[in-house]
Amino acid sequence: MADISKLHGVVRKLRDKQDGCPWDIEQSFASIAPYTIEEAYEVADAIERGDMANLCDELGDLLFQVVFHAQIAQEAGLFDLDEVAGGITDKMLRRHPHVFGSDSERAEGKVDGSWEQIKAGERSGSADDSALAGVAKALPALKRAEKLGKRASRVGFDWPDRRGVREKIHEELDELEEAVGGRMSDDMEEEFGDVLFAVVNMARHLDIDPEKALSGANNKFERRFRDMEREIKDSGKRFRDFKLESLDKYWRAAKKRVG
């Protein structure tokens, strides 16, 4: 805990209006938020690469963001770092009665769905009593679509099986084609969004993480494309020297080589 206290002291000094850092002093919740999101993604990237030394470093960067936000809040009289730590500690105790609860709760063990029931109970005191309350608007769009679909499903608003989702995807594709045919740009964007939302619901019905699936597809495309680039470069030619049919042959060969 001493190191956290030292870090907190560093942040306080950076924010000191007399002799702190001018850049740090002028920051706000809103200006820092993009950095917080970026650091969370860098943590995930280090995990995906299996780079534990980098993970330690990136977790430090993310922790700095937490302390920085808490310091801004403390200066505004809103809350402080102790309240942040205390709040999450209380929440974890509350959401794990099978670990920290009474003798009977621990004896009963973990109950399926209890986590969401406890979370729903926490939201019940909120002014927003919607089933969708608390789904952050700042989430990546795919992740937010997944969460919205899950929340709606819990109160019975869902297709009984993936056949209904598949029909919905086809319906949305037809509506997109209609918008494209009518050259209605605003409608095209809206209908394309509906297609993506329906596809995310298919992922949910298949118990697939859409963000992870798309990330895998991105990485696969990059591997194949880079391999194709190397082959074309080794041939002494350039991309622009080939027609699409010839490029497709290189693409199929890359698929066999790198998967």
Residue showing tokens 């403390």: 74
pLDDT of res. 202: 97
User: What pLDDT is recorded for position 145?
Assistant: 95
Which residue in 147, 15, 136, 141 sits closest to 69, CA to CA?
A: 15
d(CA 162, CA 204): 9
Residue 207 has what pLDDT? Answer: 94
The per-residue pLDDT for range 128-177, each reduced to its tens digit, is 878 898 888 888 899 999 999 999 998 999 999 999 999 999 999 999 99
- In this prediction, residue 115 carries a pLDDT of 66
Q: Which residues of 204-215 are buried (b: 16+ CB within 10 A; e: fewer)?
A: bbeeeebbeeee
Query: pTM value?
Result: 0.67
Q: For residue 25, what are the contacts with CB-CB under 8 A and spacing of at least 6?
A: 14, 15, 16, 17
Residue 7 predicted with pLDDT over 80: yes
Residue 21 main-chain phi, psi, to 5 deg = -90, 125
Between CA 255 and CA 203 the distance in angstroms is 24
Average pLDDT, the chain: 90
Percentage of the chain with pLDDT > 70?
Answer: 94
Q: Residue 2 has what pLDDT? A: 61
